[in-house]
Structure 1
Amino acid sequence: MNTTVTFTELEHLINNLAGTNGSALRDYVELDPTSPVIKLRIKPEVAVEGLPPGYDVDQRLNEALQDLLLVNPQGDTAQIPEEGDDPANLVLLPGDALDTPKSLDAIRVLVEGDSWCRLPEIPGIFLLPRLFPKAIGTQLQHRPGLEVKNIAHWGDTLGQIYQRKEYLTVIDSFQPQYFLLSAGGNDLQVNLRNIVHPYHPSRAVNDYLNPAGHNLLVWIRDTYAALIREVLARKPDVKILVYGYDYPKPTEESQYIGQHLTAKHIPEERMRGILSPMMDLLNQRIQEAAAQFPQVTFINCRGLTQDGYWFDDMHPNTAGYTRIVDAFVAGIR
């Protein structure tokens, strides 16, 4: 059924999400089923009257939600929501509103990255049958002894992060002791159909990345190194943590990875075996960048999230992310 909303009304809803559970957007917003990366959009059946020419309302929506955390208020504390929580009782709050007085020895951590560090914070009942997982950066914000600034944007590529350079501004103001970077996965994802050979029964599973894919991995390594140099030039004593994700779990029709491999005629039962060597190469290139700097530690997260710890084909569930967060906390401590 078609729905009409004025631009003024929609902007008011988007600008006033803090302090609500986001239910005001339930008739207008959905997870974009056509996007190769995590992205929210206004539903196609929603007509926005008075939309200014050239105005990207989807971009505005995603930007507005970047700084909001979904919490379950309990007394004087704000807890990470769990699957059984009533969405009506959950509240969106600005990330800074969760800041509590920190002890003098609290460790300051700046998190930059993609959807593995932050996912949309709207109760899942309004967008999906379940809550979005609490990703790495979001969980770190709830860990004791850490003062965390999370500037990750779901859907971001390494190229976008490096071009925007938000991390440099925040380093100046926040003065982190640790800088955590999660990037490169979306650069592969948005190019997946262009970097993978079509399926052939005689092709070895470690030979599906074509020359364009190998070149992209080299670019990821070199861009990591360039970004790290910028960070260290701005704050030479900061310690940097990087990783290369975990092995994804695609299926034939899954949105983020599986459908693209299906388009290459790769059978579902071969997908994981073909992707694993690519993820190993990604980890190797990121590790090569990290090895250039004594201030950088590479955290190997491969194999931490087995079956049962995944939300979709590209993202672990909250329990899966917790395993990865534990690995990062061990690197910080």
Structure 2
Amino acid sequence: MISPGELRQKLINPRVPDSELRDLVLLDEESRDNFEPLFRANPDTVDIRSMALDGLLAGVNRVARERRQLQYKLRVNNPFFRGQKIVSEGDSWFQFPLILQDVIDQLFRFNPLDPLDGLDGYAVFSLGAAGDLLRDIVNEDEITQAIEAEKPEVFLISGGGNDLVADGNLANFLNQFDSEKERTPEDYINEEFDVFLREIIQLYRDIFIRLLSRFPNLKIIFHGYDYAIPNNGNSLGKPMETRDITDPDLQKDIIRVIIDRLNEAQISLIEDVQFAGLVHHVDYRGVVGDNNWFDELHPNDKGFKAVGNIFDKKIKDITRR
């Protein structure tokens, strides 16, 4: 068993494998359905008697991002590095600290025990944080600064999911269930969702135009998520219940319509001639499947691996490397 101080040192040390950290922390169960997860020290491996709030850890999202950035520096500063530099920004599909091997973990496999491992692969400078909203990502200037400094060939962005579900927002986009009316899943999506979707697409348009005007040879990749499954959680299931939409199959079908519309709107966006050959959409609908979800919003490691494989193929296709 280690002390809280030793835990902190391990968390900030980029040379400690993530696999070792997994045994030292636990997901706070009260935040399991939140889009910004919280973590506690594992009482089986960490002496939490001197810690406040039963071992609740502050700032894990920030620490996880800093770890990745330090690992990135270790890789690209290695004189034998011959791989590909990438900058990424986004939500918890790109940065779910420690507990899950998210999309970026699948692409950027850093082995601190073997400094020569992965030197011909990807090095990802990650700006992502669980809980990030697309509107905040676009309004911040971290992306431009990072691309200017790191000069990557590819930029990855994941956003819009938190904007959809934050603070029970999903309920605002749904019509009330009425047993006397025969409705298709599409009929439950109201006009507020149309407004929301236009805003999300405009945010993407703005960031793409901004980046390409500054970095005309940059390759950009974005995505529209997979068919999440409501499971009585705070993000999907419970907001739907406030509209008396309680049938699990109907809930699932409604989410499918929402995910389809988001992906299709993104695909339509990049048909604009100004984005041709520069902005690319990753469509992995149906890849995670029904059985590879960690919670309402995130795949488990197996699901993320399947998604990561599609990102990997897309990167190789557009860079021919």
Provide, for residues 84-116 of structure 1, a one-character-per-residue CA deviation record: whole Å limited to 9, x for no partner. Answer: xxxxxxxxx943366263767522221111111
- The whole-number CA distance in structure 2 between the counterparts of 1:219 and 1:102 is 44
When normalised by structure 2's length, the TM-score is: 0.77
Report whether the alignment pairs 1:113 with 2:90: yes
Higher relative contact order (CA 8 A, sep 6+): 2
CA distance 1:32–1:14, shift in 2 (3 Å): farther
AA paired with 2:61? N
When normalised by structure 1's length, the TM-score is: 0.74
Question: Which residue of 287, 294, 312 corresponds with 1:329?
Answer: 312
Aligned to 1:312: 295
Task: Let me know the Cα RMSD of the aligned residues.
Answer: 3.0
Provide, for residues 33-62 of structure 1, a one-character-per-residue CA deviation record: whole Å limited to 9, x for no partner. Answer: 38741232689xx858xxxxxxxx987443
Aligned to 1:261: 240
CA distance 1:189–1:246, shift in 2 (3 Å): same
- Residues 82-231 of structure 1 mapped to structure 2, 5 A cutoff: 94-96=70-72, 99=75, 101=78, 105-121=82-98, 132-142=99-109, 145-190=121-166, 191-201=169-179, 202-231=182-211
Aligned to 1:30: 28
Aligned to 2:267: 287
- The whole-number CA distance in structure 1 between the counterparts of 2:32 and 2:253 is 25
Deviation at 1:195, TM superposition (A): 1.4
- The whole-number CA distance in structure 1 between the counterparts of 2:239 and 2:146 is 36
CA distance 1:16–1:133, shift in 2 (3 Å): closer
Aligned to 1:297: 280
- The whole-number CA distance in structure 1 between the counterparts of 2:226 and 2:175 is 22
Deviation at 1:290, TM superposition (A): 2.1
SS of 2:156's partner is: strand
Unaligned runs of 5+ in 2: 42-50, 110-117, 317-321
Please tell me whether the aligned partners of residues 32 and 41 of structure 1 are also in contact (alpha carbons under 8 angstroms): no
Q: Which has the higher strand share?
A: 1
Query: How many residues are aligned here?
Result: 280
SS of 1:112's partner is: strand
Deviation at 1:256, TM superposition (A): 2.6
AA paired with 1:197? N
Unaligned runs of 5+ in 1: 1-8, 49-56, 70-92, 122-131
Q: Which has the higher helix share?
A: 2
% identical equivalent positions:
26
SS of 1:147's partner is: strand
